[in-house]
A and B are shown apart, each in its own frame.
Chain A
Amino acid sequence: MDAPHVIVVGGGGTGGALAHDLVLRGLRVTLVERGELTSGTTGRHHGLLHSGARYAVNDPESAVECIAENRILRRIAPGSFEENGGLFVALTDEDMDYRHSFLAGCAACGIPTQELNAAEALAVEPGLTPALKAAVWVPDATMDAMRLPLRFFATAQRNGAQLRPFTEVTGLLTAGRAVTGVTLRDNLTGAEAELAADLVVNATGPWCERLAAMAGATVPVQPSPGVLLALVGRLCNLVVNRLHRAGDGDIVVPQRRLSIVGTSAWTVEDPDDLDVPDEHVQAMYREGAKLVPAVASAAERAAWSAARPLIGAIGGAGGGGGRELSRTFKCFDHAVTDGVEGFVTITGGKATTLRAMAEATADLVCAKLGVDAPCRTHEVVLAPHTAYFTGRAA
């Protein structure tokens, strides 16, 4: 008997890691993505491999997920990170006060830290402002926002997953209220088709409400964009964070010979067509320069917006524009939440936790399809990203 067929909608990091996980467990997988892989939110983030430290105080569940995945990703995707670590930098007395709960939170979440005085911090990272008071080193790292997920795609493809970029879901096939497949349009040729599946997974990130609505289901996700700034010059070698609760422009991430300053937050209804508000761009310059003074005079390579999928009550959860919502992830079995069989949504989360999100989703998918196979993605070393391109049939 044929293995069950799962359609994964959404070619971001989560979709790629999920295709990889499901194929390893013996299922047949087709992944569809309306544009190029990672062309949604995944490709646009600043490239931070979280240590989890910035969530250690307010969102320890997220923090613990992050540090675990941080270690796993370095093991399964060696050679894919700038592994210089990160610094949380205290600039004011409030920052210094916050340091105590920060260090306690990191310890409680199992995140290794090392305290540095101002002179030590400057010796490690000369790009810092000389006015800093103290710093804490954490195991942050930089990833390539597209090429890291591409390793999952490459491995999944090698193992038999059908990856179909530039293929857009135009509707869902249903039998009663159950989802039985998708209707597709090939965006390169315009050709339309139908594809049946035993289960459809909604991994479309901030667009997940749109797809869920096609099934008559709902997902409480608030698209929350933020502005990022890419500056010319590698202004620091380590990731530099502000040691405070949370705020705009409080991180500078090195990426090759660019420096990425981020980010801000507001909420929208439609994750397509995002603005890049100029006040936010100016805020990035201002706040980023407090940490790394060279930011102020650096030339701008680009300014763009990316929408996070934040899980929370629809209609806004507080006036913070999305910052207070948890950054953890969640699977929704729509048979349970909406009475729609054959349809599952995975959303929330962040780039660092792509593998864990996939594991949780694959566990749910396998449970629903009666497949008894353990997850192996935490130990399988991934193929190089180049294999995605050279492994595709013309």
Chain B
Amino acid sequence: MSSPRTVLLKVFRYGPDDAAPRYDQFRVPAGPRTTVLDALLAIRRRQDPSLTVRHSCLHGSCGTCGMRVNGREVLACVTRLDGLGDPVVVEPLAGAAVAGDLVVDMEHVYRRLEPVGRPLVRASERAGKNDTKADPGPLLEDLERFEDCIECGLCLSACPVAGDPRFLGPAALAAAERVLEEPRGTDGRAVLGLVDDAHGAWRCHLAFECSAVCPAGVDPGGAIMRLRRRVLADRLPRLVGRYHQEVPS
């Protein structure tokens, strides 16, 4: 009979009164479905109750359990230990103030999102194909759903230039693109002005790391490029128009 599989976790530990962070090692049982969050909570419950972790929904919908596992940004609640190797290094998101251990202050995400407006509800695509000839009537008007972004901050952590605190960052820019695509009563010109800035859409260097790590399918990198197209489409005709006006007819 084989002994149950275990994995060694190297977990970033830091308290605000510590001089420097350290990495604690824990050996945890790892079944085929054990997630990184399962392992961290098991450590908290059975080995070291001082380990603090953020979590809420346990299914990749709230965005609170973002962290770096073996250097890559993931949501711990939907990331299985199986396939991550041994040992597994667990660290908090980059570029954020660490409140303690793996818990970071998410203010840096929200202060960027707020100026964009960020309506939460958008028009929904149809789910499935309608084969019947029946008239759906008014029940089908305006199907809606939540925007994809779950504000997890993985994109900001992964972005190679988001260390610059003035950069709006992938999440806010993707939200801006959504607002311009589907205004829902917000002021498009103000948002366009906000992103048409050296620290807005033009600060991106197209690493697309944000899109690679986004767990919600937002594709922030693609959104930033579409924002640039909007800005150019807005600016260029006015530039050309101005030139034509200056040339005497």
Contact = CB atoms under 8 A, between A and B. Distances in A.
A364 interface: no
Contacts of A236: 127-128
B119 A79 contact: yes
A122 B53 CA distance: 44
Interface string B45-82: 10000101111111111101000000000000110000
Contacts of A145: 56-57, 61-62
Given A189-B17, A260-B59, A237 B121 contact: no
B248 interface: no
Interface in A373-394: 386-387, 389-390, 392, 394
Given A187-B52, A256-B145, A386 B78 contact: no
A119 B56 contact: no
Interface in B2-33: 15-17, 33
Interface in B123-137: 124-137
Size bin of chain A's contact surface: 35 or more
Contacts of B231: none
Given A79-B121, A302-B78, A256 B146 contact: yes
Contact of B120 (A124, A147, A387): A147
Given A82-B145, A146-B64, A122 B56 contact: no
A287 B61 CA distance: 23
Interface string A189-209: 110000000000000000000
B59 A258 contact: yes
Interface stretch (B86-94, B109-117, B190-198, B221-229): B109-117
A48 interface: no
Contacts of B56: 36-39, 42-44, 145-146
A86 to B, nearest CB: 11
A389 B139 CA distance: 36
A190 B58 contact: no
Interface in A115-158: 117, 119-120, 122-127, 130, 137, 142, 144-147
B178 to A, nearest CB: 13
Contacts of A110: none
A98 interface: no
Contacts of A228: 59
B105 interface: yes
B55 A394 contact: no
A266 interface: no
B107 interface: yes
B181 interface: no
A120 B136 contact: yes
B43 interface: no
A256 B150 contact: yes
Given A120-B136, A123-B134, A392-B107, A304 B16 contact: no
B143 A84 contact: yes
A81 B121 contact: yes
A234 B124 contact: yes
A147 B143 CA distance: 20
B135 A301 contact: no
Interface residues of B, number: 63
A235 interface: yes
A123 B132 contact: yes
Contacts, number: 188
A44 B57 contact: yes
B239 interface: no
A273 B58 contact: no
A10 to B, nearest CB: 14
Given A188-B52, A190-B50, A302 B133 contact: no
A137 B15 contact: no
A83 B144 contact: yes
B136 A123 contact: yes
Contacts of B53: 35
A174 B130 CA distance: 64
Interface string B157-181: 0000000000000000000000000
Nearest to A281: B33
B120 A301 contact: no
A94 interface: no
A44, A123, A145 interface centre (most CB from chain B within 10 Å): A123
A127 B127 contact: yes
Contact of A146 (B52, B57, B107, B135): B57
Contact of A144 (B55, B101, B118, B120): B120
A71 interface: no
Contacts of B111: 389-390
Contact of B16 (A43, A147, A188): A188
B212 interface: no
B135 A123 contact: yes
B105 A126 contact: no
A146 B127 contact: no
Nearest to A186: B100
A192 to B, nearest CB: 13
A80 interface: yes
A255 B127 CA distance: 12
B33, B53, B55, B145 interface centre (most CB from chain A within 10 Å): B145
A370 to B, nearest CB: 37
A210 interface: no
12 contacts: A43-B64, A44-B59, A123-B140, A127-B127, A145-B62, A228-B59, A235-B128, A254-B145, A255-B146, A257-B217, A389-B106, A392-B107
Given A44-B57, A236-B127, A389-B110, 11 more contacts: A43-B62, A84-B124, A120-B135, A124-B136, A142-B146, A189-B17, A257-B216, A294-B128, A301-B60, A302-B59, A386-B113
Q: Which 4 residue pairs of A and B lie closest in terms of their CB atoms, listed nearest first?
A: A43-B56, A188-B100, A126-B128, A302-B59
